[in-house]
Structure 1
C-alpha cells in the first residue's frame, strides 16, 4: 500500500493514454506514490464533474480544464489533443492540491483503495455512521487484509491532517469500533495469498502458528521475530521456504526440526533460550544458522552440526560457550576438513587459528582413540602391540605440530 503523507514530494500523476470501448472514450491515469503505482480510468465527463467541485470548493482556476466539444469529438486527433490537455490539467491540479489533498480529489484518483491514510478515512466514516448497528447485528465483523494492514501501519504514523475536514473521518472512530469487536474474520482472495513469497509477522505477540500457514504455499521468506513462540509447528508443506527468522522468541527446545521445516537454507534463532544443537543435526540443506545470544554452554554441542555439508555461516556469539578459552579454535576444529570454509561469528578462521585447530584435532584423536582390549578372534593384544599403538599416536601429534611450526616459520 502507498503512504502519501510520507511520499508526498515523491508523487506524480499523468494521463498516459486513451482507449475507446463501446463508443465511450476513457483516459488512463497513472498514479505514482513513492514505490507504489496504480492506474485509474475516467471519462471526460468525470473530469468535468470533478472540476466543478474543485472550482467551487478549493479555488481551482475555472479555465484550466480543456473545453467540451460536441462535434467531431471521436476522431483520433481530437482524442489525443484532449489527452494532452487533461494530462496538463491533472498535473497542475495535483501540484496545487497535494499539500491538502481534498477528499473528493483523493477519491477521483482511487487513493481510498491503495493508500493507508485515505482507506482509513473511508473506514472511519463507515464506523462513525454504521458502527453501532454493525456491533449490534454482526456475530463476526469482516475486515479485508488491506484494512488490517492499514490499521497496523497507521499506528506508526504521526499523520497530520491533509485538510480541515469533518470529524467523522477521524481515525479514533476506527479504534473505538475495533475495541468493541468480539469476533473478527478476515476475508480476501486465496489466489492472492498463493502468490506471496515474503511475509513479515514480526512484533505481533504471536504464541503459535497454526494450519493457516498452508495458505501461502509459495512462501520463500518468513519472519516471526519478536513474538512469543516457544514451539515450531509443522511447516514442511512450505516447499519453497528458504529463510526463517525466529529471533527474539522463547525457543528452548528444537528437537527433530528436520521433520518440521524441510529444505531450509537460513535460520535466525538469535536471542532465544536454546541450549542444545541436537535438533539441527539433520538439516542437510542449511547454509546459515544464527544462534547468537542463547544459552549454549558446552562446546561439544557443535558436534551435532559439524557434519552438515552445506553449513557455511554460524553465529554463537554472546552464548556462555563463547567466553571459554580458545572458543573459536575449538569450534572450528570440529569441522575437520571444512574448517577453513566456516565463517564463525561473521569472521572466517585465520591461518593461525587453523594451525592451532589442527593440533587440537590431533590431540583429540589421541584422547578419543580407544585402546582395544581384545584382538581379532577374541585374542588379547600383547604389550608389544599396545606399545606400538601408543607410539603411532604420539608420532601423529608430533607430525601435525611440526607441520604447524613449519607453516608459521614460512609466514615469518
Structure 2
C-alpha cells in the first residue's frame, strides 16, 4: 500500500488539485495535477468517476471519511455551464486535498483513481509485486528474459532505501502472517495467503526474492517524458546490484552515465546486449574509470562474458573497452559507423564477428587481429577488395552482401581458404557480370561443389560447365608448355611462323606470342610471330 510518510518518518510533500476542465457536448472532463516531492503527473477524470470514488471510500472507510471535505452534489440541469463547472472544480480540488490529509496510507481505490501505480515509487513497486506474486515462478521456470523499464528499476532501488517494512501495516500486525514469515521449511499455505488478501500479494519481499533469482533481464529506457508526467527515464539512476544471479543482460536505449552496480556483474555475466545506448564500449563497461586513464593489467574485466552485442549504437570505432571481455567468442557490432578494425588482437577466443552495416572501405591483414575467426559478416559496407581476407584459414562463413566489389579477380583471394563453405556476394556489382556464378565457383577449383554461394549450392549444370572449363584450361596449359619447349629448342633459327593448320579449332590464333628468346620479334608486318588464344571457353559458357 502506498505511504505518504517518507524514509525519515516525515509526511511527504503532496499537492493535488483540479487544474482545469474540458466541456464537451454531454459531459465535463477534469484535469487533475498530482505532485509528490519532485514528481508531477496529470490524470483526466469525469465527474461520475469522482462520484464512484467517493461512494467506495464512504463504504469502506466510513470513519475517516467523516473528516473529509464535503463532496459536491450531482446536478442534471445546467451542469455544463462554465460558471457551474468552475465552482465544481474548486470544490473537487478541496475534496481531493482533504483525502490526502486524512489518510497516511491512501486506500487502493484512491491510488488507482490517481494512477499512483504508474508514477509513484511505492505504487510502481506494489503493482509489479502483485503481478510477480501470480506469475513470478513461471518466469523463473522458463528462464525467459524479464523486462523492466528503467523507471521500474529506479522505483525498486528507491523503495529498498526506505526504512519501512516490506509489507503493509495490516499484514505485518496479523499473527498468522507473523507465523507464516517466521516458520522455517514451510510449505506454501494457500488458505493463509487467501485470508491475508491483497496485502500479502503486495509484499515487497516477493519482488526482492524474484529479482535475486533472475538470470536473464532486459532493461528499457527512454529519453522522452513518461506518460503524462515530468519523469524522463534516462535522467534516473539505476542500480544493478540487486540482481544476484544475473547471467544475461539486455540494455535498450538506456543512459550508461546513470548506471550503477556494474561491478557486481563482472565475475558472472555471460552475455551482454546493448542497443541504441552507447558511443563507447568502455563508457559502459568501466564507468568508474576516467576516460583518459589507460587500460592496463589492473583493469577489471568481465571474465565470464563470451557473447556481446553492441549493434545499432553510435560507435565510430572499436575502442579499447572491448579488451575488458577477453573471453569473447561472439561479437556483434552491426549498424554502427566503424571504419576499421582495432583492438581485437587480444580476443584470442573470438570465432564470430559481425561488422555489417558499417563504413569499412578496406581490410588489411585481418588475420593478425582475428586469426581464429570462423564466421565473419561484412555486409553493407564499402569494400572494393578482398586481399586482406586471404589468410583467414579457419573461416567457414563469409558474408559480403551489398559492398562495392566489381572485379571477379578479388574473389580469387578467397580461393585458398580451405574451410570456406558459405560465401555471400549478392548485391555487389560483380554479380551483374555474365556467367557470374560459374566464373566465381570456378576459382575454387575442385572445391566448387562444396561451396554454398549466395545461399545456393552449385547446380549439376554449373559443376559440369566448370569441369569442362577446367579440362580446357589444363589442355591449354599443356599445349602452351609443349609449344614453348619446341620453339626454345630451335635456338639457331629465326622464330618460326606457326602454320594455319596448327591453329584450327579448338584453338584460334590470337593472344599469346611464341618466339625464341634469342631472337627478337620482328614487326608485325614481317609475319614472324603468331598470336594464340583459347576462345573456346566462351563457346562452353554460352
TM over 0.5: yes
**How big is the shift at 1:365?**
4.8
The match for 1:312 is 421
Scaled by the length of structure 2, what TM-score is found? 0.46
Contact 2:402 2:425 in 1 (8 A): yes
Q: Answer yes or no: is the 8 Å Cα contact 2:219–2:252 preserved in 1.
A: no
Tell me, yes or no, if structure 1 residue 331 matches structure 2 residue 440. yes
Question: Structure 2: any 5+ residue segments left out of the alignment?
Answer: 1-127, 147-163, 244-248, 256-277, 290-297, 508-533
Q: Kindly state the Cα deviation for residue 346 of structure 1 after the two structures are TM-superposed.
A: 0.6
Distance 1:143 1:289, change over 3 A: same
- Kept after mapping to 2: 8 A contact 1:65/1:86: no
8 Å Cα contact 1:66-1:86 kept in structure 2: no
Q: How does 1:321-400 map to 2 (within 5 A)?
A: 321-365=430-474, 371=480, 375=485, 379-380=489-490
- Which residue does 1:206 correspond to in 2? 315
Mapped partners of 2:501, 2:195: distance in 1: 95
Alignment of 1:11-410 (within 5 A): 11-13=135-137, 34-35=143-144, 49-53=165-169, 55=171, 62=174, 65=177, 67=179, 79-80=184-185, 83-85=186-188, 104-105=204-205, 108-109=208-209, 111=211, 152=252, 186-187=287-288, 193-365=302-474, 371=480, 375=485, 379-380=489-490
Structure 1 stretches of 5 or more lacking a match?
Answer: 15-29, 38-47, 135-140, 156-177, 405-412
Deviation of 1:65 (Å): 2.8
* CA shift for structure 1 position 79: 3.5
Give 3-state SS (helix, strand or coil) of 2:395's partner. coil
Question: How big is the shift at 1:211?
Answer: 2.6
Instruction: Report the alpha carbon displacement of residue 11 of structure 1 after superposing the two structures with TM.
Output: 3.3
Tell me the secondary structure at the aligned position of residue 267 of structure 1: strand
Q: Shift of residue 238 of structure 1?
A: 1.3
Check 1:97–1:303 CA distance in 2 against 1; reply closer, same or farther (3 A cut): farther
Offset at 1:239? 1.5
Sort the Cα spacing of 1:259 and 1:119 in 2 relative to 1 into closer, same or farther, 3 A: closer
8 A contact 1:223–1:244 mirrored in 2: yes
Separation (CA, whole Å) in 1 of partners of 2:418 and 2:134: 48
Instruction: Name the CA shift for 1:192/1:252 in 2 (closer, same or farther; >3 Å).
Output: closer
- Once residues 466 and 319 of structure 2 are traced to their aligned partners in structure 1, the CA distance between those partners, rounded to angstroms, is 44
Cα offset for 1:339?
Answer: 0.8
Q: How many residues align?
A: 313
In 2 relative to 1, CA 246–398 (structure 1 residues): closer, same or farther, beyond 3 Å? closer
Q: What is the Cα deviation at residue 224 of structure 1?
A: 0.4
Q: CA deviation at 1:324?
A: 1.6
Q: CA deviation at 1:64?
A: 6.2
Is the CA contact (8 Å cut-off) linking 1:295 and 1:320 kept in structure 2?
Answer: yes
- d(CA) in 2 for partners of 1:9, 1:390: 90
Return the alpha-carbon distance in structure 1 between the equivalents of residues 372 and 301 of structure 2: 24
Alignment check: 8 A CA contact 2:354 2:377 kept = yes
Q: 1:248 touches 1:270 (CA, 8 Å); kept in 2?
A: yes
Q: 1:308 to 1:247 in 2, by over 3 A?
A: same
Distance across 2 between alignment mates of 1:150 and 1:90: 34
Give the TM-score taking structure 1 as reference length: 0.59
More helix as a share of residues: 1
| 8 A contact 1:116–1:153 mirrored in 2 | no
Change (3 A) 1:243 1:31: closer
Using the TM superposition, give the Cα deviation of residue 360 of structure 1 relative to its aligned residue in structure 2, in angstroms: 2.9
CA contact (8 A) 1:374 1:380 kept: no
CA deviations 1:195-214 (Å, max 9, x no partner) are 11110010111111123222
